């Protein structure tokens, strides 16, 4: 992507004109008059998600009724949508299912991982990781070792059963080196469990290439699956037969419709299904994934990096007193820029009143999501113009 000399609104418009992904914005139903920088919390509605949802309600549910479990393919939809999603995390079809929440998927995989490493009692994770990850770890592991990120590798030893990490930090957007940490975990015989909530659809992820064991993530952020759309769960094919789900539900049975009294786990990743998945949420996600079909994640990443670099430059030039809390080096950053300011909460509210939607994370972070499918360079200019105006001398 071209770099810009003089930074003004016209220069940002020129970047939009040269943007190969610009047409994708038309895929979304964004309200007029706002700049939406919160697609990393809740992605917007796409036309294909709306159409797919309409088909699932009026056609499959409304007309097909109970027959849709088989005829419309509802029974296998968690696997089928998982197969579609697999490409976006560098997994193979058959390694991903879509069901439940990230929190529940984390619970299932963390306990399965602990049980697969008898004699080891430690879950190693990072200080300040997402609350669900900490709560679930503390509920399940005899010992949770929480360390700062610079101490992760030295804290790996043969007592560690699972290394549980959020790949891209939800507060700062700082990204771990998945390949290096997975290798370090494997060197002491530990399994890895990656939380990809802020990675999927945000950065290229190569679970296979990194040799990762297990992963979870949500679909309502960068994938635009809709509020509470079902989460995904990944288990590497080589491990599937050796892991057992601790939540034995009938959908994880080898043959759910046999209604057998005896539990027999499904042969592949489907053994981690629990009960009936919300078919409407799954349909919305299925439709939302149409936008990703054929899209090259490298091109999405290239635009994401150019946008984040631009945003950082705008803040540096126009917003004195605001600290960039995300890494400045693109290679260490996901797809968001977090800004630190002591009055972040009031600033984010004031920005929202002027049509710029980001979010606040305690205690002092303004979090701005970079979502290349629907955000324009000029939106970043406009957002920072509002922030700069709010912070202009004598105003704040």
Provide the binding-site residues for ligand PLP, judged by CB under 6 A.
Answer: 101-103, 130, 132-133, 166, 170, 195, 197-198, 218, 231
Q: How far is the CB of 120 from ligand PLP (least distance, A)?
A: 24
Tell me the pairing of strands 214-217 and 365-369.
unpaired
**Nearer Cβ to ligand PLP (198/341):** 198
First to last CA, the chain: 35
Grouping H, G, I as helix, E, B as strand and the rest as coil, residue 322 is: coil
Give how far Cα 129 sits from Cα of 126, 164, 194, 228, Å.
6, 10, 12, 21
Instruction: Establish whether 195 is a catalytic residue.
Output: yes
Q: Which of 77, 271, 367, 376 is catalytic?
A: 367
Instruction: Establish whether 367 is a catalytic residue.
Output: yes
Q: How far is the CB of 199 from ligand PLP (least distance, A)?
A: 9
Q: How far is the CB of 76 from ligand PLP (least distance, A)?
A: 22
Helical segments of the chain, H only:
9-17, 47-54, 68-71, 77-86, 102-115, 131-140, 178-187, 207-210, 237-240, 279-290, 297-318, 344-353, 377-390
Q: How far is the CB of 3 from ligand PLP (least distance, A)?
A: 32
Q: Which of 28, 107, 130, 232 is catalytic?
A: 130
**Nearer Cβ to ligand PLP (140/350):** 140
Burial of 188-205, coded b for 16+ CB within 10 Å and e otherwise, reads eebbbbbbbbbbbbbbeb
Dihedral sign for Cα 133, 135, 136, 139, please.
positive
- Give the number of other CB atoms < 10 A from CB of residue 92: 14
- Give the number of other CB atoms < 10 A from CB of residue 384: 26
Q: What is the DSSP letter of 98?
A: E
Q: How far is the CB of 294 from ligand PLP (least distance, A)?
A: 27
- Quick one: which of 1, 27, 25 has its CA closest to 12? 1
**Nearer Cβ to ligand PLP (60/195):** 195
Q: How far is the CB of 384 from ligand PLP (least distance, A)?
A: 25
Residues forming a β-bridge with 166: 195
Q: Which of 38, 133, 169, 195 is catalytic?
A: 195
Instruction: Establish whether 220 is a catalytic residue.
Output: yes
**Nearer Cβ to ligand PLP (216/350):** 216
C-alpha dihedral over 11, 301, 367, 6, to 10 degrees? -20
**Nearer Cβ to ligand PLP (130/222):** 130
What are residue 347's phi and psi, to 5 degrees?
Answer: -65, -40
Instruction: Establish whether 221 is a catalytic residue.
Output: yes
Q: How far is the CB of 19 from ligand PLP (least distance, A)?
A: 28
CA distance 396 to 389: 9
Instruction: Establish whether 145 is a catalytic residue.
Output: no
Residues forming a β-bridge with 369: 336
Longest dimension (CA), the chain: 72
**Nearer Cβ to ligand PLP (304/336):** 336
Residues forming a β-bridge with 122: 143, 160
CA distance 266 to 256: 9
**Nearer Cβ to ligand PLP (28/107):** 107
Q: How far is the CB of 30 from ligand PLP (least distance, A)?
A: 21
3-state helix, strand, coil in the chain (%, to 5): 45, 15, 40
Positions marked catalytic = 130, 195, 220-221, 367
């Amino acid at each position: 992507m071209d770099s810009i000399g003089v930074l003004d609104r016209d220069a940002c418009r020129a970047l939009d004109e040269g943007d190969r992904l610009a047409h994708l914005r038309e895929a979304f139903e964004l309200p007029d008059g706002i700049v939406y920088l919160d697609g990393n919390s809740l992605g917007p509605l796409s036309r294909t998600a709306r159409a797919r949802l309409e088909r699932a309600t009026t056609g499959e549910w409304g007309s097909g009724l109970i027959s849709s479990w088989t005829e419309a393919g509802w029974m296998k939809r968690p696997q089928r949508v998982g197969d579609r999603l697999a490409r976006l995390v560098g997994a193979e079809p058959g390694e991903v299912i879509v069901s439940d929440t990230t929190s529940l998927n984390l619970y299932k995989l963390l306990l399965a991982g602990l049980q697969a490493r008898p004699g080891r009692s430690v879950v190693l994770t990072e200080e300040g990781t997402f609350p669900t990850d900490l709560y679930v770890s503390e509920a399940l592991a005899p010992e949770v070792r929480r360390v700062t990120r610079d101490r992760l590798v030295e804290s790996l030893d043969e007592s560690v059963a699972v290394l549980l990490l959020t790949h891209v930090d939800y507060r700062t957007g700082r990204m771990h080196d998945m390949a290096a940490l997975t290798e370090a975990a494997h060197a002491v015989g530990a399994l890895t469990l990656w939380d990809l909530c802020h990675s999927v659809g945000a950065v290229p992820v190569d679970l296979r290439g990194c040799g990762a064991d297990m992963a979870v993530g949500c679909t309502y952020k960068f994938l635009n699956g809709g509020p509470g759309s079902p989460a995904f769960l990944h288990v590497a094919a080589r491990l599937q037969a050796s892991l057992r789900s601790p939540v034995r539900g009938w959908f994880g049975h080898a043959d759910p419709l046999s209604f057998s009294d005896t539990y027999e786990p499904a042969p592949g990743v489907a053994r981690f299904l629990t009960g009936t998945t919300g078919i409407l949420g799954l349909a919305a996600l299925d439709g939302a994934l149409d936008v990703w079909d054929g899209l090259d994640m490298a091109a999405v990443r290239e635009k994401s990096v150019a946008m984040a670099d631009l945003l950082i430059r705008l803040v540096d030039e126009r917003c004195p007193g605001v600290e960039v809390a995300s890494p400045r080096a693109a290679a260490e950053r996901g797809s968001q820029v977090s800004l630190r300011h002591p009055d972040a909460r009031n600033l984010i509210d004031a920005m929202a009143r002027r049509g710029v939607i980001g979010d606040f994370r305690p205690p002092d972070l303004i979090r701005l999501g970079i979502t290349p499918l629907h955000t324009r360079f000029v939106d970043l200019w406009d957002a920072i113009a509002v922030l700069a105006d709010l912070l202009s001398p004598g105003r704040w």
